Amino acid sequence: MKQAVTAAPVLRIALYEGAGSQPLAGAARAELLRALLEKGYAVTCVKPGAPVSSIFTGELLVLGQFDEEKPAEAEAADGKLALHFRQITGLDTSAVLDLVEQVRETANAAKPGGWKPWFPVIDYDRCTNCMQCLSFCLFDVYGVNTGGRITVQKSHNCKTDCPACSRVCPEVAILFPKYKSGPINGDVVKAEDMQREKMKVDISALLGGDIYAALKTRSADAKVRFSKERDEKRALEERKRCLTKLQQALDIPAEVMASLPSLEQIQSKAAAARAVAVD
Amino acid sequence: MTSARIIYCHCAYAQVVPPEVKQEVLRQLAESGTAFDAVADLCEMSARRDPGLKALAAEGGVKIAACYARAVRGLFIAADAPLPADGVEILNMRTDSAEQVIAALLTVGGKPIAPSANGAQILQEQK
């Protein structure tokens, strides 16, 4: 089960090595950074005279080898940013991680990590708003905004490691950044990717025509065969062979393949989404 | 001195970036003494629509060490924090070597960045 998006504040970390502090040794800095990142924290390395991103809101923990004692807690003048200062002189990486965890719990900040962020990303330079992704997705990840544009609205609903919607996109406009290969991972879309909606053709080729029609026909054939032969086992094996072939070729989870919607369901889903478009 | 901000993505929740590349980029960045923002995983931040992404995107020149440019731009758009069309350089740790990424991150106008004795960044004169 994926972790739902929570409203709890996020704790960010600044590793301060500016005026009034002593810099960490390079190797110690690298080790601490890696440990914090692998725990899921974002860390800003602050140096004098060098630009970093501004942080205006939320909870910010400032770690440093400070020359003078700092107040443990403070807040920005507008009250939108809570600041926590912690001295890390003499602490090893493990002790700093413990310190960070204590501050996170005190601040009631969200625990980072815990799920693989797997969800579709729409390349709007390619998307034609055809809604096939919305229609095809079994998990209601997609929605339509008030402008009538397709958007990813429930990313946490997405089934981990399922790239099915990107397979049906005729414009190769849906990415999964953590997918293993291109162009679904965001790699440049090549001419061969576009040969007659390549992904879709791949599916169709396996079934000998339009995927929806083919699946429907297969389903009907299977029913006829079943009724004629009363051979449930054979019908199931046929379906299993077909789904396994598709699943292996397209890297789509078996349970998704087994639940593909009908053409009628797809069309009605797209129409319904347009009717209840939200921003 | 004007130099781009640096953002490093650790892609902490998947094994798609070669670990030896990201670890080496992080090590060299950390040991270079330069300032930078390191995030655990841009995908995770995008899924949460983390307001931090707006801060990362909003302030002009930036170099991002992550993965494919199309994916990175898409992740920022998904978080309502689109990256500007200009002044953004995206380095791909899935395809490039650590040396290539570091070389691109730690140069400004073809000159390497290095910390001065007091910690402030200066441009090294190329010999």
Is the pLDDT at A234 greater than 70? The verdict is no
Burial A114-141 (b: 16+ CB within 10 A, else e): eebbbbbbbbbebbeeebbbbbbbbeeb
Q: Does the distance separating the beta carbons of B12 and A10 come in below 8 Å?
A: no
pLDDT at B124: 42
Least CB–CB distance from B40: residue in A37, A121, A175: A37
Distance from the Cα of B127 to chain A's closest Cα (Å) equals 24
Q: How far is CA A241 from CA A205, A236, A254, in A?
A: 15, 9, 11
Kindly tell me if the per-residue pLDDT of A225 is higher than 90: no
Whether residue B47 and residue A156 make contact (CB cut-off 8 A), yes or no, is yes
pLDDT at A229: 46
pLDDT band for A136, please (50, 70, 90 cuts): confident
Q: Give the pLDDT of residue B117.
A: 40
ipTM: 0.86
Number of C-beta neighbours around residue B19 at 10 A: 9
Place of tokens 């993965």: B67
Measure the CA dihedral B55/B61/B65/B71, to 10°.
70
Say whether residue B50 is in contact with chain A using an 8 A CB cutoff. yes
What pLDDT, on a 0 to 100 scale, did the predictor assign at position A14? Answer: 94
Interface test with A, best of B48, B116, B122 (most A CBs within 10 A): B48
Segment A193-218 shows an average pLDDT of 53
What's the maximum distance between 2 C-alpha atoms anywhere in chain A?
87
Mutate to test the interface with A, among B34, B43, B56, B80 (most CBs of A within 10 A): B43
What is the Cα–Cα distance from A122 to A174, expressed in whole angstroms?
5
User: How many Å apart are CA A21 and CA A87, to the nearest integer?
Assistant: 10
Backbone angles phi, psi at B112, to 5 degrees: -70, 145
Q: Is B114 on the interface with A (CB under 8 A)?
A: no
Q: Which amino acid is at A239?
A: R
Comparison of pLDDT for A175 and B56, the residue scoring more: A175
**Rounded average pLDDT over A226-242:** 56
* Residues, chain B: 127
Residue A52 is predicted with a pLDDT of 66
What pLDDT score does A252 carry? 75
Q: Long-range pairs for B116-123 at CB < 8 Å and ≥24 separation? A: B118/A48, B119/A17, B119/A18, B119/A23, B119/A47, B119/A48, B119/A49, B119/B33, B120/A47, B120/A48, B120/A49, B120/A50, B121/A47, B121/A49, B121/A50, B121/B1, B121/B3, B121/B34, B121/B35, B122/B1, B123/B1, B123/B3
pLDDT in tens, A7-58: 788 899 999 998 899 999 989 999 999 999 999 999 999 887 666 666 667 8
Residue A92: partners with Cβ closer than 8 Å, 6 or more residues away: none
Query: Cβ contact (<8 Å) for A39 and B56?
Result: no
Cβ under 8 Å to A: B residues 74-103: 74-75, 77-78, 94
> Which residues, 6 or more positions from B37, have their beta carbon under 8 angstroms from its beta carbon?
A42, A43, A44, A45, A52, A53, B5, B6, B7, B8, B56
C-alpha A110/C-alpha A8 separation (Å) is 5
What pLDDT is recorded for position B59? Answer: 76
pLDDT greater at residue A59 or residue B93: B93
Q: What is the pTM of this model?
A: 0.80
pLDDT digits (tens, 9 = 90+) for A143-153: 999 999 999 99
Residues of A in Cβ contact (< 8 Å) with B52: 10, 12, 42, 53, 55, 58
The top-scoring range by mean pLDDT among A190-204, A258-272, B31-45 is: B31-45
User: Number of CB pairs < 8 Å for A and B?
Assistant: 177
**Residue among A45, A185, A251 with most chain B CBs within 10 A, to mutate:** A45
- Strands of the sheet containing B107-108, edge to edge, are B107-108, B111-115, B121-123
Which residue, A149, A146, A51, A11, is CA-closest to B77?
Answer: A149
Is the per-residue pLDDT at A117 higher than 80? yes
Collect all residues of chain B within an 8 Å Cβ-Cβ radius of residue A54: 55, 59
Question: Could you write out the DSSP letters of every residue in chain A?
Answer: -PPPP--S--EEEEEE-STTEEPPPHHHHHHHHHHHHHTT--EEEE-TT-------SEEEEEEEEESS---SEEE-TTSSEEEEEEE-TT--HHHHHHHHHHHHHHTTPPPP--S-----EE-TTT-----HHHHH-SS--EEE-TTS-EEE--GGGSPTT--HHHHH-TT--EE-TT-SSTTTTSPPPPGGGGTTTHHHHHHHHHHTS-HHHHHHHHHHHHHHHHHHH--HHHHHHHHHHHHHHHHHHHT--HHHHTTPPPHHHHHHHHHHHHHT---
Highest mean pLDDT among A91-95, A157-161, A267-271, B29-33: A91-95
Q: What's the token pair of residue A152?
A: 């990813």
Q: What distance in Å separates the CA atoms of residue A44 and residue B35, rounded to the nearest whole number? A: 8
Of A52, A180, A188, the CB nearest to B37: A52
**pLDDT value of position A266:** 67
- Tens-digit pLDDT string for chain B (127 aa): 447 889 999 999 998 999 999 999 999 999 998 999 999 999 999 999 988 898 888 877 899 999 999 999 999 999 999 999 999 999 999 999 999 999 999 987 666 665 544 444 444 433 3
Confidence class for position A62, pLDDT limits 50, 70, 90: very high
Q: Which residues of A touch B36 (CB under 8 A)?
A: 44-45, 52
Q: Does any CB of chain A come closer than 8 Å to the CB of residue B5? A: yes
Q: What is the pLDDT of residue B101?
A: 97
User: In this predicted structure, what is the pLDDT of residue A269?
Assistant: 73
Q: Which of B10, B62, B106 best probes binding to A when mutated, by most A CB atoms within 10 angstroms?
A: B10
